[in-house]
């Protein structure tokens, strides 16, 4: 049993370029092109322990499809099929079912390997899948009680600069800078605006709000935001419950005067926001719609919602 830190379990193996290798053998050369220039893409995928004790990956196919879309956007030729990469995720967990009995976070990554240097270089594409036990990204307390967020001084890039349909490694420097600024300022997470000043998303999550009239809103995909798979799941959950959701532009001050704000993402799952820019959101506690989404989502990933069982791929 190994860990990336004293408290985080991680896989003893890595699926690397079609082979299962030991963790310490999952190495790349210092001249790897992606290390220098950021040309790569990745996914974050969760596997949950379901109510009957089995392990199931949440929306595996959708994540693999987005990974391949991201590679296509980056003009990286994939050396494996979608089926092979999906099977690699399954094989990694099958090989260590006991280690990940309570769930796992999977990280498939695609990147340009070593060889030629320079911006015009075209080197072989490398693919890896790793796994570790990653708890609540913004903390268990954050899931229960909500977090403090700060609108960042950094801006989400224009859609012709930031390839928003891709989950591309180099683009995350923008998120890292925003996240660090927020944490150093005493907040849990950053909210980024687009170049027009409208709310885009958090550093690694999509955003929803509920206004005083009970209308649920989330920024549209025409904004510079990731087409989040958890976001899509929440839209489905809300609409299936008979609630309407408006995918519209949102102003910064709308966050100050609404009743509820919550983030969605594979790592963050469903995290309430209790404060934005030192202003309390609603009552300062997770609201009823946030609680409904949380409860339904966690029931779904644990196989307790029959209408969403097709989201689960069992190990």
The C-alpha atoms of residue 212 and residue 257 are separated, in whole angstroms, by 8
pLDDT of residue 2 exceeding 90: no
Tell me the pLDDT tens digit for each residue of 234-265: 999 999 999 999 999 999 999 999 999 999 99
Q: What percent of the chain has pLDDT over 90?
A: 92
* Residue 274 near residue 268 (C-beta atoms within 8 A): no
Give the model's pLDDT for residue 101.
85
pLDDT of residue 7 exceeding 90: no
User: What number of other Cβ atoms are within 10 A of residue 103's Cβ?
Assistant: 20
Give the residue numbers annotated as catalytic, written as ranges: 167
DSSP state of 177: H
Return the half-sphere exposure (C-beta side, CA atoms, 13 A cut-off) of residue 226.
32
Tell me the pLDDT tens digit for each residue of 105-161: 999 999 999 999 999 999 999 999 999 999 889 999 999 999 999 999 999 999 999
Tell me the pLDDT tens digit for each residue of 46-72: 999 999 999 999 999 999 999 999 999
Segment 66-81 mean pLDDT: 98
Q: In the chain, which segments carry CATH 3.30.470.10?
A: 13-132
Give the model's pLDDT for residue 303.
98
The C-alpha atoms of residue 151 and residue 252 are separated, in whole angstroms, by 8
Tokens of 6: 């004293």
Give the model's pLDDT for residue 135.
87
CATH code assigned to 140-301: 3.20.10.10
| Averaged confidence pLDDT in the chain | 95
- B/e letters for 154-167, b = 16+ CB within 10 Å, e = fewer, are bbbbeeeebbbebb
CB-based contacts of 236, cutoff 8 Å, min separation 6: 308
Q: In the chain, which segments carry CATH 3.20.10.10?
A: 140-301
Q: Does domain 13-132 have CATH number 3.40.50.410?
A: no
Q: Give the global pTM.
A: 0.94
pLDDT of residue 33 exceeding 90: yes
Give the model's pLDDT for residue 1.
35
CA angle in degrees (0–180, nearest 5) for 281-175-168: 130
Give CA separation, 11 vs 17, 25, 51, 56, 289, in Å.
Answer: 17, 12, 23, 17, 36
Give the model's pLDDT for residue 307.
97
Tell me the pLDDT tens digit for each residue of 257-294: 999 999 999 999 999 999 999 999 999 999 999 999 99
């Amino acid at each position: 049993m190994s860990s990336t830190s004293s408290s985080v379990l991680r896989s003893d193996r890595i699926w690397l370029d079609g082979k299962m290798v030991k963790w310490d053998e999952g190495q790349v050369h210092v001249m790897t092109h992606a290390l220098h220039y950021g040309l790569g893409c990745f996914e974050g995928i969760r596997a949950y322990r379901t109510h009957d004790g089995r392990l199931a990956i949440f929306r595996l196919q959708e994540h693999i499809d987005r990974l391949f879309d991201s590679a296509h956007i980056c003009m990286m030729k994939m050396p494996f099929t979608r089926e092979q990469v999906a099977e690699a995720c399954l094989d990694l967990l099958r090989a260590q079912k006991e280690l990940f009995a309570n769930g796992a976070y999977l990280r498939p990554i695609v990147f340009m390997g070593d060889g030629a240097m320079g911006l015009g270089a075209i080197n072989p594409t490398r693919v890896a899948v790793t796994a570790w036990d990653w708890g609540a990204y913004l903390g268990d307390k954050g899931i229960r009680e909500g977090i403090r967020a700060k609108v960042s001084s950094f801006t989400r890039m224009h859609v012709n600069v930031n390839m928003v349909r891709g989950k591309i490694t180099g683009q995350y420097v923008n998120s890292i800078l925003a996240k660090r600024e927020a944490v150093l300022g005493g907040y849990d997470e950053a909210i980024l605006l687009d170049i027009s000043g409208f709310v885009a998303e958090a550093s690694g999550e999509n955003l929803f709000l509920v206004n005083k009239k009970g209308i649920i809103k989330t920024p549209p995909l025409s904004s510079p935001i990731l087409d989040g798979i958890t976001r899509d799941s929440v839209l489905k959950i809300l609409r299936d419950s008979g609630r309407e959701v408006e995918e519209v532009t949102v102003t910064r001050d709308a966050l100050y005067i609404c009743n509820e704000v919550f983030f969605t993402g594979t790592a963050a799952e469903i995290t309430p926001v209790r404060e934005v820019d030192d202003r309390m959101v609603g009552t300062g506690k997770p609201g009823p719609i946030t609680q409904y989404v949380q409860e339904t989502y966690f029931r779904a990933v644990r196989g307790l919602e029959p209408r969403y069982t097709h989201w689960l791929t069992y190990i």
